[in-house]
A = this chain, B = another copy of it.
Amino acid sequence: MVSVLKRVLIGKPIATAEEGHQRLKKRVALPIFASDAMSSTAYATDEILIVLLIQAGAGAVAFDKLVPLAIVVAVLLVIVILSYRQTIHAYPSGGGAYIVSKVNLGPLPSLVAGASLLTDYILTVAVSVAGGVLAMQSAFGFDSSVRVPFGLALIALLTVANLRGLRESGALFAPPTYLYIAMLAILIVVGLYRVYFRDLGPIPVSRLLGDAHDPEEVKELMEGAKTLSLFMLLRAFSSGAVALSGVEAVSNGVQTFRKPESRNAATTLAIMGGVLGTGFLGISLLASKLKPFRGENDATGIALMAEHVFGGKNAPFWIIQFATFGILVLAANTAYAGFPALSSIIARDGYLPRQMSNRGDKLVFSNGILFLAAAAALLIIVFRGNITALIPLYAFGVFTGFTLSQAGMVAHHFREREPRWRLSTAINGLGAVCTGVVALVVVVSKFSKGAWIPAVLIPALVLAFRAVHSHYAKVRASVQVEPGYRAQRHTHTVVILVGSVHRGVLDAVQYARELAPDRLIAVSVVTGPEEQEALAHAWEAYDIPIPVHTILSPYRELSRPVLEYLDELDAEMQDDVMTVIIPEFVTQWKTQWLHNQSAFALKARLLYRPNTVVTSVPVLVAGKHDE
Contact = CB atoms under 8 A, between A and B. Distances in A.
Interface of A: 13, 16, 18, 353-355, 357-359, 363, 468, 471-472, 474-476, 478-481, 483-490, 492, 502-504, 506-507, 509-511, 514-516, 541-543, 553-558, 560-561, 577, 579, 584-587, 591, 593-595, 597-598, 603, 607-610, 612-623
Contacts of A504: 479
A142 to B, nearest CB: 25
A619 B503 contact: no
Contacts of A587: 471, 475
Contact of A502 (B480, B542, B613, B615): B480
A482 to B, nearest CB: 9
A503 B484 CA distance: 11
B560 A586 contact: no
Nearest to A480: B502
A615 B618 contact: no
The 7 closest A-B pairs by CB, nearest first: A487-B510, A478-B622, A479-B502, A359-B555, A355-B597, A615-B615, A479-B503
18 contacts: A363-B555, A471-B587, A474-B621, A479-B504, A479-B621, A485-B503, A485-B542, A486-B510, A487-B507, A487-B510, A487-B511, A489-B510, A511-B613, A516-B516, A610-B620, A612-B618, A614-B615, A614-B616
Contacts of A612: 618
Contacts of A543: 483-484
Contacts of A486: 506, 510
Nearest to A356: B597
B475 A621 contact: yes
A548 to B, nearest CB: 15
Contacts of A510: 486-489
B468 A481 contact: no
Contact of A359 (B13, B468, B556, B593): B556
A621 to B, nearest CB: 5
Contacts of A485: 503, 506, 542
Given A483-B542, A584-B607, A16 B554 contact: yes
Given A13-B560, A486-B506, A615-B616, 8 more contacts: A353-B593, A353-B597, A354-B594, A354-B595, A359-B557, A474-B622, A608-B618, A615-B615
Contacts of A613: 511, 615-618
Contact of A618 (B607, B616, B622): B607
Given A355-B598, A503-B480, A623 B474 contact: yes
A343 to B, nearest CB: 14
B586 A608 contact: yes
A618 B603 CA distance: 12
A595 to B, nearest CB: 8
B541 A514 contact: no
A624 B90 CA distance: 46
A487 B501 CA distance: 13
B542 A591 contact: no
Contacts of A579: 615
Contacts of A558: 358
Given A471-B594, A555-B363, A607-B616, A481 B509 contact: no
Nearest to A587: B475
Contacts of A555: 16, 359, 363
A16 B487 contact: no
A619 B488 contact: no
A365 to B, nearest CB: 9
